[in-house]
Amino acid sequence: MGNEVILLNFWLSPYGMRVRIALEVKGIKYENREENLSNKSPLLLQMNPVHKKIPVLIHNGRSICLDDRSPLLPSDPYHRSQARFWANYVDTKMCEIALKFWTTEGEEKEAAKEEFLECLKLFEEQLGDKPYFGGDNLGLLDVALVPLICYFYTYNLYGNFINEDKYPKFIAWAKRCTQKESVSKCFPEEHRVKEFISKKKKNLNSE
């Protein structure tokens, strides 16, 4: 049997970006297939019939998860559970705040901004003096968090709130990550993010 790996994806998805980065780090070759989320392909519906969401990773015709023997996870059980805890925090908390920031105005938007900055403070502490959350190399939390960096430019454009001086470690980490080819090649171009978000905002404002 061949060794066919297909990723069903949507270019702006932070979840999709992290799978791409993990595949790059592991050196796995794959085909990236873009999905139209308002008209999902039969393959997506077949491979993820419960959630019907991207990303879906398909290996030789079967949907799979990236496994725990990944070099992204520390071997020490305590550090492994910490990495999982914080990666889950990104999923549940940060992605929700980011969505609130994009889709609300006024007080709610301000609250989302404050919450986001609180998260950055926590991550600044978690990072300490390490180059990456994973230590000397990218780890699970780095890969989970770094896709959010590609929205920073547009955050600042619409909210002007990320003051680099306040989060020096976090900003240095972000720059370090984006200088890695395994990360930067999975990021969409800045202008595409900006165009997509300004279009979304226009649609929301006209509703």
Q: Which residues bind ligand GSH (CB under 6 A)?
A: 10, 13, 15, 37, 52-55
Distance (Å, whole) CA 165 – CA 39 = 43
Q: Let me know: does 123 contact 145? Beta carbons within 8 Å.
A: yes
Give the shortest CB-68-to-ligand GSH separation in angstroms. Answer: 16
Q: Measured at CB, which residue is nearest to ligand GSH? A: 53
Choice between 102 and 167, CB closer to ligand GSH: 102
Helix (H) or strand (E) holding 34, with range, is: strand 31-34
Contacts of 81 (CB under 8 A, 6+ apart): none
Give the shortest CB-99-to-ligand GSH separation in angstroms. Answer: 10
Cα distance from N-terminal residue to C-terminal residue, the chain: 51
Q: Let me know: does 152 contact 98? Beta carbons within 8 Å.
A: no
Give the shortest CB-85-to-ligand GSH separation in angstroms. Answer: 16
Give the shortest CB-69-to-ligand GSH separation in angstroms. Answer: 20
Distance (Å, whole) CA 195 – CA 199 = 6
Choice between 53 and 201, CB closer to ligand GSH: 53
Choice between 53 and 180, CB closer to ligand GSH: 53
Choice between 68 and 76, CB closer to ligand GSH: 68
Choice between 143 and 183, CB closer to ligand GSH: 143
Give the shortest CB-95-to-ligand GSH separation in angstroms. Answer: 8
Q: Let me know: does 114 contact 104? Beta carbons within 8 Å.
A: no
Best CA proximity match to 104, nearest among 94, 92, 93, 113: 113
